[in-house]
């Protein structure tokens, strides 16, 4: 079959907002050596003896606070993105054949193995894989290519695979982020930057030693930040950059999102608008950590209005970007 196939891959979520399902997700995710590179003999006893016993019960109410009727937000939104992308590609003038767009999670269900098997069984000979991470990191993007190679070899799938490149500086990505911010301002008004109100771009954190070993993630986050700040016509004193979701005792990228919000609050900041450009779809880390938990921190420390600007999700500008990436290829 010459009909093109496209596979969107995002990180993953528990199947249900339960202790058992969350533990299964964390076990798979945190056992990936790309994610935690501590030797297994040292790490697995910590993971299984401490983290998987203590962390899941704490996460149950967090997941429940953002869970959708059909699934976890990340899975629900990724499914919406796939449907919207398939429709957008089918409408392109140059589309000689309607593409099939599939989606999978790197960890848990639907698994990459199951979906790749489905793609092969549906008769496709070639698949474009789009890791849904604008900025490249070995802890995210490379785990997708690792799993691709493993599944193709193990299942002996005769699939030609093209993995699309990260798009942290793609003009259409920056334009989509800009449109998202400006649509938010059209609804609630523009911040008063002269009075100290600010925009904060919060990216997922990463241990510093990953950067020291050559991971380009920080540089790509900074490039996205610079390009979006410029596109908005603002200065780097009006738009701030920070990193969230620290885990473990290692030194992580600084400044942290929480510390930055505490600093702004203590300075009397009357409003902050927070955007998470490193996430292609809203998930626990954006909807609960940033939109709820950090909002409470900002208010508790004396901050004023707090606005969370949702991820690009299935916004038309985002879907158009994804379609453009598929058409352009690497």
| pLDDT tens digits for range 51-61 | 999 999 999 99
How far is it, in rounded angstroms, from Cα 253 to Cα 210? 10
State the pLDDT confidence band at 116, using cuts at 50, 70 and 90. Answer: very high
Question: What's the domain range around 163?
Answer: 5-167+316-328
Q: Are residues 92 and 209 in the same domain?
A: no
Among candidates 133, 167, 166, which has minimal Cα distance to 276?
133
State the pLDDT confidence band at 311, using cuts at 50, 70 and 90. Answer: very high
Q: How many CA atoms lie within 13 A of 106 on its CB side?
A: 26
**pLDDT at res. 94:** 58
Phi-psi region of 43 (alpha: psi -120 to 50; beta: other; left: phi over 0): alpha
Q: Are residues 185 and 153 in the same domain?
A: no
**For residue 250, pLDDT beyond 90:** no
Q: Of 266 and 4, which is predicted with more confidence?
A: 266
User: What mean pLDDT value characterizes the chain?
Assistant: 96
How far is it, in rounded angstroms, from Cα 235 to Cα 239? 6
Q: Are residues 208 and 149 in the same domain?
A: no
**pLDDT at res. 248:** 79
**pLDDT at res. 329:** 67
Q: Are residues 17 and 163 in the same domain?
A: yes
Name the token pair of 91: 């409408």
What is the CA 15 to chain-centroid distance, rounded? 18
Q: Are residues 180 and 103 in the same domain?
A: no
**pLDDT at res. 264:** 98
Q: Are residues 40 and 133 in the same domain?
A: yes
Q: Are residues 149 and 272 in the same domain?
A: no
Q: Are residues 225 and 237 in the same domain?
A: yes
Q: Are residues 157 and 78 in the same domain?
A: yes
Percent of the chain at pLDDT exceeding 70: 98
**Span 289-316, mean pLDDT?**
98
> Which CATH number does the domain housing residue 30 bear?
3.40.50.1400
Q: Are residues 135 and 26 in the same domain?
A: yes
Among candidates 25, 30, 217, 4, which has minimal Cα distance to 129?
4
| pLDDT tens digits for range 36-53 | 999 999 999 999 999 999
What is the CA 316 to chain-centroid distance, rounded? 18
Q: Are residues 55 and 35 in the same domain?
A: yes
Q: Are residues 46 and 157 in the same domain?
A: yes
For the chain, the domain total comes to 2
State the pLDDT confidence band at 148, using cuts at 50, 70 and 90. Answer: very high
Q: How many CA atoms lie within 13 A of 74 on its CB side?
A: 27
């Amino acid at each position: 079959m010459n009909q093109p196939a496209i596979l969107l891959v995002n990180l993953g979520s528990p199947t249900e907002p339960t202790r058992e399902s969350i533990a299964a997700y964390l076990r798979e995710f945190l056992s990936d050596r790309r994610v935690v590179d501590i030797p297994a003999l040292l790490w697995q006893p910590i993971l299984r003896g401490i983290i998987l016993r203590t962390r899941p019960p704490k996460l149950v109410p967090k997941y429940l606070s953002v869970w959708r009727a059909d699934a976890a937000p990340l899975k629900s939104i990724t499914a919406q993105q796939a449907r919207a992308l398939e429709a957008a590609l089918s409408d392109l003038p140059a589309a000689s054949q309607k593409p099939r767009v599939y989606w999978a999670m790197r960890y848990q269900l639907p698994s990459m193995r199951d979906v790749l098997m489905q793609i092969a069984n549906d008769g496709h000979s070639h698949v474009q894989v789009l890791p849904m991470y604008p900025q490249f990191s070995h802890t995210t993007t490379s785990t997708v290519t690792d799993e691709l190679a493993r599944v193709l070899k193990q299942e002996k799938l005769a699939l030609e695979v093209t993995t699309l490149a990260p798009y942290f500086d793609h003009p259409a990505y920056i334009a989509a982020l800009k449109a998202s911010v400006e649509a938010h301002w059209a609804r609630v008004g523009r911040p008063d930057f002269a009075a100290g109100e600010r925009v904060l771009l919060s990216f997922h954190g990463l241990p510093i030693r990953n950067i020291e070993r050559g991971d380009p993630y920080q540089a790509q986050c900074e490039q996205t930040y610079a390009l979006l700040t410029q596109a908005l016509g603002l200065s780097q004193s009006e738009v701030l950059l920070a990193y969230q979701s620290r885990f473990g005792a290692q030194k992580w990228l600084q400044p942290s999102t929480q510390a930055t919000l505490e600093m702004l609050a203590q300075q009397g900041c009357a409003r902050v608008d927070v955007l998470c450009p490193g996430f292609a779809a809203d998930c626990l880390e954006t909807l609960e950590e940033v939109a709820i938990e950090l909002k409470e921190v900002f208010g508790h420390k004396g901050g004023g209005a707090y606005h969370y600007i949702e991820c690009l999700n299935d916004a038309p500008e985002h879907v158009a970007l994804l379609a453009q990436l598929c058409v352009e290829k690497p």
